[in-house]
Amino acid sequence: MEGYLHLNSGHSYKGQWLTDQPEKDVEGEIVFFTGMTGYQEVLTDPSYKDQIIVFTYPLIGNYGINESDFESKKPHVAGVIVYEGSRNPSHYKSAYSLQEYLQKWNIPLLGHMDTRSIVKKIRSEGSMPAKMSSSETAPGGLLLRKDKKVCKVSSQTMECCGEGSIHIVVIDFGAKKSIVDSLLKRACKVTSVPYNTSFEQIKKLNPDGVVLSNGPGDPKELKSILPELKKVLEQYPALGICLGHQLAALAFGGNTKKLSFGHRGANHPIADMKKGTVFMSSQNHSYVVDEESIKDTGFKTRYVNLHDQSIEGLMHKVLPIHTVQFHPEAHPGPADGDYIFDEFMNMIQEENRRVFAYA
């Protein structure tokens, strides 16, 4: 069955449904991922909530879907565009084919698409609303839904795991499982709390440190929680990841802006200005912290994207706050940034020693 992708710019692309022809058209912001592997992690990363994802690597699904690489309990993308979607996965861990998995969750998969041409269009015209449809007729004037996406993916209740001696509260804006795993690996006990948990509620948990997680949407949709978040950041050693980094900057009076088509893929070079090193990072974001706006926030830029010189992470000049725009937890992509979690652990230990010395 033929299926179509219509971009808001007026361009349409023809392909074939690899899942059942959807009963309803699917709309969402069109974004892409350039990595050769990692489609399972991308599909289940809550940061992609309601987006239509184009995979540029020409063969997707070849190692299937397994039980261990999920980043959350279900896929969050609105629809998936590939060139070739493998029907015969081959991997000892594979439990389902890509088609079976997406079909189960009613997420349409369009194959035989000219994915490179679509991504070139997104790169020249910016990420934009798009529609997946069985109708050849291009719709006019698609709009992006202006809803708070974090509410749809943040957990509703507190969840605890691990029995380590360092207690970390993860504020869940749509957290990837790998962030929690990176903490558990470092002997932490982790309590995940809903995104709108108050400072007083977090204080009752008596954490050693707080992680602000990744998550979907425009960080400014979360304006109402910034005052509470600031109180948390002023009180506890903190690590902000992606959306968490953007929210930390906003909480201290900084500003964010939207990039034309975002940073997407597993090969973005980052300079760590403190260590004087360069490493590869995994990225998936549309917004960045505006360089000009951080002057009076108390933050200093520590990480810079070597493609466009945008801010990739901050350190607070006085408080123990460390934030990164990229994904140190990897999954998908390189784990070069793993040391950020070790630095976070050291920051907590230093803070505990300092508090102890003054007690």
**Which residues belong to the annotated binding site?**
47, 215, 217, 243, 246, 284, 287
Shortest Cβ 329–ligand GLN spacing (Å) = 11
Give the DSSP letter string of 178-191.
HHHHHHHTTTEEEE
Q: What angle do CA 170, 222, 321 make, to 5 degrees?
A: 45
47 binds ligand GLN (CB under 6 A): yes
**Residues 151, 46: contact at Cβ < 8 Å?**
no
Active site residue 263: no
Give residues with Cβ within 8 angstroms of 214, minimum separation 6: 45, 46, 47, 173, 174, 175, 176, 179, 241, 242, 243, 244, 327
Picking from 87, 109, 147, 80, the residue whose alpha carbon sits closest to that of residue 20 is 109
Nearer to ligand GLN, 6 or 285 (CB): 285
Shortest Cβ 289–ligand GLN spacing (Å) = 10
Token pair for 138: 């291009």
Binding mask 283-302 for ligand GLN (x = CB under 6 A): -xxxx---------------
Span 199-218, contacts to ligand GLN by CB under 6 A: 214-217
56 binds ligand GLN (CB under 6 A): no
Distance CA 186, CA 182 (A): 7
Nearer to ligand GLN, 284 or 293 (CB): 284
Q: Which of 242, 245, 263, 331 is catalytic?
A: 242
Nearer to ligand GLN, 183 or 242 (CB): 242
Active site residue 242: yes
- Binding span for ligand GLN by CB under 6 A among 69-77, 180-188, 280-288, 305-313: 280-288
240 binds ligand GLN (CB under 6 A): no
**Residues 302, 314: contact at Cβ < 8 Å?**
yes
Grouping H, G, I as helix, E, B as strand and the rest as coil, residue 354 is helix
Active site residue 188: no
Binding mask 165-204 for ligand GLN (x = CB under 6 A): ----------------------------------------
Nearer to ligand GLN, 153 or 233 (CB): 153
Q: What angle do CA 240, 278, 316 make, to 5 degrees?
A: 30
35 binds ligand GLN (CB under 6 A): no
40 binds ligand GLN (CB under 6 A): no
Distance CA 113, CA 93 (A): 28
Q: Which of 245, 268, 316, 327 is catalytic?
A: 327
Distance CA 4, CA 9 (A): 14
Nearer to ligand GLN, 17 or 32 (CB): 32
Q: Which residues of 177-202 are buried (b: 16+ CB within 10 A; e: fewer)?
A: bbbbbbbbebebbbbbbbbbbebeeb
Distance CA 162, CA 167 (A): 9
Q: Which amino acid is present at 252? A: F
Shortest Cβ 287–ligand GLN spacing (Å) = 4
Q: Which residues are annotated as a binding site for L-glutamine?
A: 47, 215, 217, 243, 246, 284, 287
Token pair for 299: 């933050």
Nearer to ligand GLN, 191 or 284 (CB): 284
Shortest Cβ 319–ligand GLN spacing (Å) = 22
- What are the residue numbers of the active site? 242, 327, 329
Which stretches of the chain bind ligand GLN, using CB under 6 A? Answer: 47, 214-217, 242-243, 284-287
